[in-house]
Structure formats: structure tokens, C-alpha cells
Structure 1
Amino acid sequence: MQAVDSCLPPGDKPRPPNIQGDIPPSGGQTIRSVALTGLFILALLYTLHLGQVVFLPLTIAVMLSVLLAPIPRWLRRIHVPEPVSATLLLSIVVFGLGYGMTFLAEPAAGWLEKAPHVFREAEYKLRVIKKPMQELSKAGELIATATTLDEAKKVQKVEIHNGIWPARMFTITSELLMGGATMLILLFFLLSSGDLFLEKLVKILPTFEDKKRAVEIVREIEHRLARYLVTVSGINIALGIAVGVGMHLLGMPNAPLWGVMAAMLTFIPYLGHMIGVSVVTLVAAVTFDDLGQILTVGGLYWALAVIEGTLVNPMIVGHRLELNPVIIVVALMLWGWIWGIGGTFVAVPLMVGVKIFCDHIEPLAPIGEFLGAREGGG
């Protein structure tokens, strides 16, 4: 022991081993940490699912506040108070939505009322396409019947017709109106509060460097997310105008309705275009007798959607904010389960916001890289 002491510099003495610090964490502790993290994530997702009435309007309000925040900030420079600018903005938004709903409500309600007739007539007119598919289906059933041992057992189909459809529609409409009112109230307070939350965050941070970094991160996230939302909204509106004009030139009734539908459904990647093509094809099947004209309507919508998805969107939005296609599909499924149809509309902006946040926080950078698309757009 004295020989060991003589090798040390003067004043240094050998320290006893740090039993707890020298031993790496065991496998059991790692498994326990992963399990606790997984349980926390599941609990969080289920809480979001149960609190849909609160969290969905809040999320939409936050996104809209990020989108509209530059306007009150600019008006503040010319000495317009933020509550006044928020009131003006919301008045314009409410008036625009009210006018649009009044303009489109009657034709939309008419098509919803004629939906059963539309499906029957479309099925009759598209029987030329349906017949080969039915023959393939019958062939498959024959093969399945030949390989089934127990052919005698047949399951009786029982159809339950719900006679309270109008009551369900009234409930859904009431929930939409309540959610919309809640979203507008939250949006007003978010816009009128200005930078209040950022100021509070800066106030509680301990050092000047932390305060400066927090402001830079928040401003960068706000700027990039706002730019993304504005760009994507502009692209979707342009697609809606193109679809509306195309439907009008092809003689489709209520062309503005299909344009607005296309603009809204484009916020749902992949699935939205499929729904839009199916809807306009069904309407065309009811409107026209010529099969070629029916397929032209669906083909035009699909061609415009392909141009938007493969050329316009990547060229304007850029690949820095593009998401992995697998992540998009998983996000649509996940947020669709959590918040229903509203969740599918906010899924992609939410994931873009998460990617931007992770890109600016060094420990979370690998998650941001995982969420992003392949570099070069491939």
C-alpha cells in the first residue's frame, strides 16, 4: 500500500472504489426503464383518446394560432392591441366559414340525402366493370367450397337496421358545433395573449444562455411550422380550384362542392385522394350515361392528385420537412384511432411539428432523422 502511495502525486491519496458508480446498470433496470416508458406512452395516448373533446380543439387552435400569429404581431407594430387584432381575425374567419357553409350546405345535404340512390345507380352503370370482378369472386367461392369439409353449416346473416339515424346525425352535428365553438374560444385567447407563454418560459429559466436558446428554438419552430402550414394550405387550395374547374368543364353538377372537398381531403395524405376519386366517380356515374365520361371524371381527379403529390408538393415544400411515408401511414392510423376523423386531418401537421422540435433538441435529433424522408427525395 505504501508503494502505491509513493506513485501518486503529492496530496493525492487512493480513493475507495465507488461501488454504486462503477457498476453499470443491470439488464433488469434497463428493461424496467423501457417498460415504464412504454406504459407512460400508452397511458398518454389513452388519455388523449378519452379527452378528445378537450385535446382536439386545443390542438387545432394551437396550429391555427401558429398560422395566424404573424398577423397580430405585425398589427402590434402599428399600435393595434392584440385583443383587437384577434377579434378582427376571428370575425373574418367566422364570417368566411359561415358564408362557405351556407353556400355549400344545400348541395351537400342534397347529395347526402340521395346517397342510397347514388350507390344503386352507380352500381348498375358500372356493372361492366363489376361483372368480371364478380366472376372472379364466384370462382374463388367455388374453390373455397370445394376445399371446405363442412359444407352443411351455413351462417345466417342478420342485418340490424338502425332506425335512429337522424338522432345520431343530430348528436354528431351538436358535437361538431361544440368543438368548433371551443376551438374558436381557445384560438381567441391564444392570439390575444401574444408572447405571454414564451415570456413565462424565459422568466423561469435560470441562465441567460438558456433563455436565449429557448427563444431561438421557439421562434425557429414557429417560423418553420407556420411556413409549412401556409405552403401546404396554399397547395391544397390550388388543387381544390383545379378540381372544381375541371369538374365544371366536364359538366359535373355542384363543381365548387367537389373543389372544396378536394382541398379538405388533401390534408389527409393518400387516403384523402382515394376518397375524393371514389366520390366524384360515383357522382359521375349518376350524372352521365357514358362509361368513358364517368371514368374521365375520376381520371382527371386522380391525375391532378398525382401531380400535386409527386411534383408540386415536393418542389415547393422541399424535402427537409417531408416525412417518411411509413410514418405518415402509421400517424394516420394512430391519430385516427385517438381522435377519429379530426385526428386524420391533424396527424401530418402534428408529426411535422414533432420532427421540427426534435431537429432542434440535440438529444432528440435521432428521432427527427428517423421521422424524415430519404434525402434527395428518393
Structure 2
Amino acid sequence: MVAAAPPPERPSLAPVSDDHPTEAHAAATEAADETEMPLPSDPRTFFLGGLFALGALAALYVASSVILPVVLALVLNLLLQPAVRLLGGVRVPRAVGALLTVFLVIGALVGLVAALSVPAATWAERLPEGIPRLEAHLDVIKGPIQALQKIIQQAEQAADAPPGRGSIVSVRRDLGITGALFAGTRSVLDGLFTTVLVLYFLLVAGNIFLRRIVEILPTFSNKRQAVDISQQIQEDISAYLVTITAMNAAVGVTTAAAMYFCGLGDPLLWGVTAFLLNYIPIIGPLFGVCIFVLVGMLSFESLWLALLPPAIYLGIHLVEGETLTPMLLARRFTLNPVLIILSLVFWFWMWGVLGAILAVPMLAILKIISDRLRPLKALGHFLEGE
């Protein structure tokens, strides 16, 4: 009698122990963690985070004379670090390469200021002589402004508005935003030595801070994440600054050539003005349009000729700002445009004109860090554009 063969063993359906997960399970868990955007469930987390943010912003505002030069040096380090590495590739010592780079930047700035001082002084002397011409151009729009002012006064009287508030259109004798700009510039000049000193030692140090952070972090995944964040910040912000600088230089050259052919004179002054203002998105070009409107009215008898320089400048900015630069930066930066405007306004209020220039790089750095830290993924998603 032949014994019956034992039934074949069925595969075990028991779940895999959490203590020894398979590679597929670990990969799936890691992928889920990368896509998950957790939100804190404890209300105390929001309150503590809000208090910390308010305290940090208050410290940034109070200690702006110290912190602003350091932040500016950090951003300039990202811009100039490729030049130092390039000099290192031809066997130039890092300390010498950093010194040469800093000296070249300072020399370029000093030469630019020296070249622009004469035409700027000339235009300052021409300003009192051109006021009658400016008033003649403004006579064209004086009638509509007065009519609008009458309508507003009648509407306020009908609504029983308190007296003394009828005139909304008034000419302020203070400089407004211009005074704020120069106030910010003065604070930057006060910290110029600090900026140069910190920038030089950052260029010399290279990746020493990253190495120290990697040595301190406990696990290999933390070390890899720190290296990934640092490399992404360096690559993206350096690419952003280099691209913006190149596009601003193209805008400056085009504006200088256009103003020369318009007969405005001093093309170098207007080219540098367009170059510098283009570092501040949206607000800078709008301020530039106002400058070119004023200069055109001071230079030309005809109103249409006076409006030609600002029209050309606005056209150049639209081509660059709405077509070329977004096309070049779309793969690296997709920031929410509303948050960009709010960031510009906020940092201009905090740190003046340099705060507005640093607003977009700081917002981009915040997004890069948030995208790679799991507790901040929701913030990174909120900062993302279309």
C-alpha cells in the first residue's frame, strides 16, 4: 500500500514583522514619507511656532545693522563661489582666489560709482532748470485731476464727511519711497565693511560648515539629507543669481542703447539704473518707469517725446520679465507670485531696498529647505506656484 503524499505547503500569509521589514516595504514606506505632507495636530505647535516666528522677526528687525550684512554676504557667497572654484581649477590658492574675487567686485563697484557721479551731478543741476518744463507738461493732466478732486469733494460732502479731508490729491514735499530707499542704502553702507569681511571668509571657508554639520548628524540618512539640501541651495540659488544678473545686464545694455537713440543723453547712467532696479521684481521696474517719465519730461518739449523713454523701458521690461527670465528659471523656481509680492513688501519694510533685493532668494531657500524636510513639506507646497 502506497502512502499518500503529504499536501503541498501553502505560502505563509502572516504579515511581515515591523522589526525586520523587507526592502520593498522599506522603499514603499520611504516613498510614502516623501509624498506625505503632515500637519501638526496639536494646537500648541501652531502657537509655539507663531511665537518663535514673531520672536525671530523681531530680532531680525532690531539687529538689522548686524544681520543684514551677514545675509547679504551669504547670498553674495552663493553668487561668487563658482568664480572661486574656477580659479581653484587653475591652481590658484583658495585664499588668493577669494581675495581676487572680492577685490574685483569692489573695484567694479568703485569704478561704476566714479563713472556715474559726473552724469548724476549734471542731472541734479538740471533739475531746477527743468521745473518750468515739468509744470508745463503737468498742465495737460491738471484739468482731469481737478475735476476728479471736485467729484470726490462733492461725494464726501454728500456723505457728511468731516471737514478738512476733502483734498485727496496733494503734493507731498517729502520723498516718500525715495527717502526709504536712501535710508536703506545708508544702513547698507554702514555695514559695508562687515559684508566684505564676512564674504571673504565665507569664500575661503568653502564647505567647512557643511562638513561640520555632516559630522554632527547621527544617522546616514540625516547626513545625506543635509548634503542634498546644501547642494540644492547652492545650485538653484547660484543659477538664479547668475541668470538674473545676466538678464539684468542685457536689460541695462538695451536700455542704454535705447535712451541714446532717443536723444536722452548719458546712456551709461540709465543703463546702470535699469540694471540695478531690475533686481527688485515688479517694484523696481515700476519705480524705473516713474524715473524715466520724470527724465523725459525734463528733457523734451513735446509730451509724446517725453513719454517715449518710459514706454521703451516698459517694453524692454515686459519682454525680459514676462518672457525670457520665466522661461530660463521655470525649471528651478515655481514660487507663488502673490507670496513674492508680499515678501517684497515685507522685506522692504524690514530692511529697505536690500531687503527687497534679498526677498526672492530667501523665499527660494525657504522653499528648498521645506521641500526636503518632512515636517515642513506642507509649507513648501504652500509656497509653490503653478
Give the TM-score normalised by structure 1.
Answer: 0.81
8 Å contact 1:232–1:317 — kept in the other structure? no
Q: Which residue does 1:219 correspond to in 2?
A: 231
Could you tell me how far 1:66 is from its partner in structure 2?
Answer: 0.8
The reply on whether 1:60 has 2:72 as its aligned counterpart is yes
Structure 2 match to 1:15: none
Aligned to 2:217: 205
Q: Which amino acid aligns with 1:351?
A: L
Letter in structure 1 aligned against 2:272:
V
| Matched residue, 1:128 | 140
Which of 67, 70, 74 is matched with 2:86 structurally?
Answer: 74
> How far 1:334 sits from its partner (Å)?
1.3
Answering whether residue 286 of structure 2 is matched by residue 274 of structure 1, we say yes
- Kindly indicate whether the alpha-carbon contact (under 8 Å) linking 1:202 and 1:214 is maintained by their aligned counterparts in 2: yes
1:348 counterpart = 2:360: yes
Contact 2:184 2:354 in 1 (8 A): no
Alpha-carbon shift at residue 140 of structure 1 (Å): 1.8
Residue 323 of structure 1: CA displacement?
Answer: 1.7
* Aligned CA distance change for structure 1 residues 241 and 130 (closer, same or farther; 3 Å): farther
Residues 270-349 of structure 1 mapped to structure 2, 5 A cutoff: 270-349=282-361
Change (3 A) 1:335 1:226: same
CA offsets, 1:280-322, max 9 Å, x none? Answer: 1101101000111111111111111111121111111115403
Deviation at 1:151, TM superposition (A): 5.3
Distance 1:325 1:217 in 2: 23
Match of 1:251 in 2: 263
Contact 1:72 1:191 in 2 (8 A): yes
Q: CA RMSD in A?
A: 2.8
Gaps of at least 5 residues in structure 1 are: 1-28, 163-167
Aligned to 2:12: none
Which is worse superposed, 130-139 or 274-283?
130-139
Specify the code of the residue in structure 1 equivalent to 2:341: V
Give the drift of 1:133: 2.5
Does the 8 Å CA contact 2:153/2:166 hold for their aligned counterparts? no
Q: Hey, what's the Cα distance between the residues in 1 that align with 2:78 and 2:296?
A: 39
Give unpaired runs (5+ residues) of structure 2. 1-40, 175-179
Of the three residues 250, 273, 277, the one matched with 1:265 is 277
The partner residue of 1:99 within 101, 106, 111 is 111
* Aligned AA (1:262): A
Q: Which moved more, 1:248-257 or 1:76-85?
A: 76-85
* Contact 2:77/2:203 (<8 A) preserved: yes
Point out which structure has higher relative CO (alpha carbons under 8 A, 6+ apart).
Answer: 2
Match of 2:149 among 114, 137, 142: 137
Query: 1-side partners of 2:384 and 2:109: how far apart?
Result: 34
Give, in angstroms, the shift of residue 174 of structure 1: 6.1
Could you tell me whether the CA contact under 8 Å between 1:126 and 1:291 is conserved in 2?
no
| 1:17 alignment counterpart | none
Native 8 Å contact 1:118 1:282 kept in 2: no
Which residue in the other structure is 1:361 paired with? 373
Aligned partners of 1:149, 1:277: CA distance in 2, in Å?
Answer: 35
Pick closer, same or farther for the CA change 1:65–1:342 going to 2, 3 Å.
same
Counterpart Cα distance in 1 of 2:164 and 2:285: 43
Q: Which residue does the alignment assign to 1:229?
A: 241
- Name the CA distance, whole Å, in 1 between partners of 2:125 and 2:76: 33
Q: Find the aligned partners of 1:302 and 1:289 in 2 and give their Cα distance.
A: 21
Alpha-carbon contact 1:319-1:373 (below 8 Å) kept: no
TM-score, structure 2 normalization: 0.80
Q: Distance in 1 between matches of 2:375 and 2:109?
A: 42
How far residue 256 of structure 1 moved from its aligned partner, in angstroms, is: 1.4
Across the two proteins, how many residue pairs are aligned to each other? 338
Does the C-alpha gap of structure 1 residues 147 and 221 become closer, same or farther in structure 2, counting only changes over 3 Å?
A: closer
SS at match of 2:43: helix
**2:205 is aligned with 1:193:** yes
Instruction: Check conservation: 2:185, 2:353, Cα contact below 8 A.
Output: no
Give the C-alpha shift of residue 47 in structure 1: 0.6
